[in-house]
């Protein structure tokens, strides 16, 4: 029963700190400090300083601020406007019409952003007014956009996958490759839902717009060429082994700056805002990672992760039962914490379990991202719900109800991943990699 009491103490102190409004990173450091003082005889200050320095001086982490900066630069360009103009001619004839621009637009921007909030804001600021103007149902506009924006967590470059890879010491490039096919499959499932809606709710679908000729569509699509080239540069350089994740991120920043300059949106003010925005986000994530690394060490000294893993093993759960338990666990914890905090807080305990169960760590990274995506649109702390509320001023419960079908599709995606694990493992197993 010792592990039960240790867990209870750690959780009590954590929720006490979080409940008082302390930043998540500082709360994790506080819990670790209390754990070290209560259960070990080691010098807490020296241990904390050493752990924080070791975790924050990882070269792999360099990719994180670079990818964040790339997204911040593109957020301040005319990318969203160009994306809608380029996609609309091709989406208009699909069952469900221009609602598909929400999903495809989020998929494209996710490939250059890494953040669901940035994806939601960028695509939403252009598509919402355009879809409203064409009388598409508000619930479909809000629901598909809120759900599809979560693709920013899976399709590379994903900030959550970078944090997961650093936490468990796995290749960031391989994790990025693992996210491509599941991301595309999930986007296709979202589009399938829109098509079914158009069949069963025909009266809600506005009349189709006048169709363009093939050459006219191509002319409109020229607006998409710069961002597609940028995506190809970032992902292609990693897949072919020409660049590590960090080098690809540097290419991405240069490409984003060139794209912004050619659009005429690279003013000094926009450059400074993008740099400050990336610094703020990177500092927040770095503080969470520091706190999580110290907490992991603190729990390791108490033997808590291994004893919990042994306790789970004694229950003799099958691999499927363990994954279902983790699915429920992450959905619940995601109701109160953001995705990155959920991952770093739990990995010290969860990693021994999945290793003992023989679960592929690359595959599990994609599994955990899908579940964290669900948490982004789950009340009361679903981050995408807050972002969408800020954009549209709708009530939180209205947005959550509109996004419920997308949540259920993500649950279905979990089972698809379990049934077809090669979906996440084939690309990383067949890619060339470079160390670093």
- pLDDT, tens digit only, all 436 positions of the chain: 555 666 677 677 777 776 777 777 788 788 888 877 777 777 777 777 787 777 666 676 778 788 888 878 877 777 766 777 777 777 777 888 888 888 988 888 887 776 777 788 878 877 888 888 888 899 999 999 998 888 887 888 888 888 888 888 888 888 988 999 999 999 999 999 999 998 888 888 887 766 666 677 777 677 778 888 888 888 888 778 788 878 888 888 898 888 888 878 788 888 898 899 888 888 877 887 787 778 777 776 766 666 666 666 677 778 888 899 888 888 877 776 667 777 877 787 788 888 888 889 999 999 998 988 888 788 766 778 877 888 887 888 898 899 999 999 999 999 999 999 999 988 888 766 554 4
What is the number of other CB atoms lying within 10 angstroms of the CB of residue 123? Answer: 29
Question: Measured between alpha carbons, how far is residue 407 from residues 147, 199, 331, 373, 429 in Å?
Answer: 7, 21, 11, 9, 29
CA pair distance 325, 56, nearest whole angstrom: 31
Query: Residue 206 and residue 2: Cα distance in Å, rounded?
Result: 62
Residue 291, token pair as written in the block: 């706190």
Q: How far is CA 279 from the centre of its chain?
A: 19
- Count of Cβ atoms closer than 10 Å to residue 11 Cβ: 11
- Compute the Cα dihedral for 429, 183, 76, 277 and give only its sign: negative
Cα separation of 305 and 423, whole Å?
30
DSSP state, residue 115: -
- Cα separation, 59 vs 146, in Å, equals 33
Q: List alpha helices for 40-99, DSSP H.
A: 44-56, 63-75, 79-91
Beta carbons of 164 and 170 less than 8 angstroms apart: yes
Separation between Cα atoms, residue 285 and residue 58, nearest integer Å: 14
User: What is the rounded distance in angstroms from the CA atom of residue 165 to the CA atom of residue 159?
Assistant: 10
CB 428 within 8 A of CB 165: no
CB count, 10 Å around CB of 396? Answer: 14
Q: How far apart are CA 401 and CA 142, in angstroms?
A: 10
CB 342 within 8 A of CB 333: yes
**Which tokens is 46 given?**
């020296």
What is the spatial distance between Cα 383 and Cα 268, in angstroms, rounded to a whole number? Answer: 30
Query: H-type helices in 264-360, by residue range?
Result: 268-302, 304-314, 319-334, 339-356
pLDDT of residue 415: 94
3-state SS assignment for residue 78: coil
354 CA to centre of own chain = 21
How high is the pLDDT of residue 307?
Answer: 66
């Amino acid at each position: 029963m010792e592990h039960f009491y240790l867990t209870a103490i750690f959780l009590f102190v954590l929720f006490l700190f979080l409940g008082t409004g302390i930043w998540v990173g500082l709360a994790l450091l506080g819990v670790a400090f209390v754990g070290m003082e209560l259960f070990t005889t080691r010098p807490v200050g020296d241990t904390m300083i050493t752990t924080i320095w070791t975790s924050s001086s990882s070269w792999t982490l360099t990719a994180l601020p670079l990818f964040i900066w790339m997204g911040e630069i593109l957020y301040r360009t005319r990318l969203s406007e160009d994306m809608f103009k380029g996609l609309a001619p091709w989406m208009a004839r699909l069952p469900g019409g221009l609602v598909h621009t929400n999903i495809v637009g989020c998929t494209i921007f996710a490939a250059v952003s890494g953040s669901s909030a940035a994806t939601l804001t960028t695509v939403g600021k252009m598509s919402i007014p355009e879809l409203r103007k064409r009388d598409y149902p508000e619930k479909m506009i809000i629901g598909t956009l809120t759900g599809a924006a979560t693709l920013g967590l899976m399709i590379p470059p994903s900030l959550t996958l970078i944090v997961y890879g650093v936490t468990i010491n796995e290749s960031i490039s391989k994790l990025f490759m693992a996210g491509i096919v599941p991301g595309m499959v999930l986007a296709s499932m979202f589009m399938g839902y829109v098509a079914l809606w158009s069949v069963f709710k025909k009266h809600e679908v506005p009349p189709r717009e006048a169709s363009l000729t093939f050459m006219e569509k191509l002319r409109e699509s020229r607006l998409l060429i710069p961002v597609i080239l940028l995506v190809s540069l970032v992902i292609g350089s990693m897949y072919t082994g020409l660049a590590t994740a960090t080098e690809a991120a540097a290419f991405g920043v240069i490409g984003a700056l060139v794209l912004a300059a050619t659009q005429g949106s690279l003013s000094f003010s926009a450059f400074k805002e993008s740099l400050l925005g990336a610094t703020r986000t990177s500092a927040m994530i770095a503080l969470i990672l520091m706190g999580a690394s110290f907490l992991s060490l603190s729990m390791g000294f108490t033997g808590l992760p291994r004893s919990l893993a042994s306790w789970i093993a004694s229950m003799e759960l099958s691999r499927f039962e363990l994954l279902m338990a983790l699915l429920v666990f992450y959905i619940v914890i995601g109701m109160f914490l953001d995705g990155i905090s959920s991952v770093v807080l739990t990995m010290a305990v969860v990693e021994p379990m999945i290793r003992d169960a023989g679960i592929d760590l690359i595959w599990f990274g994609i599994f955990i991202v899908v579940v964290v995506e669900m948490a982004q649109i789950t009340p009361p702390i679903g981050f995408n719900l807050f972002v969408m509320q800020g954009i549209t001023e709708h009530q939180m419960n209205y947005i959550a109800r509109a996004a419920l079908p997308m949540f259920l599709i993500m649950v279905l995606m979990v089972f698809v991943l379990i049934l077809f694990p090669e979906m996440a493992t084939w690309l990383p197993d067949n890619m060339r990699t470079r160390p670093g």
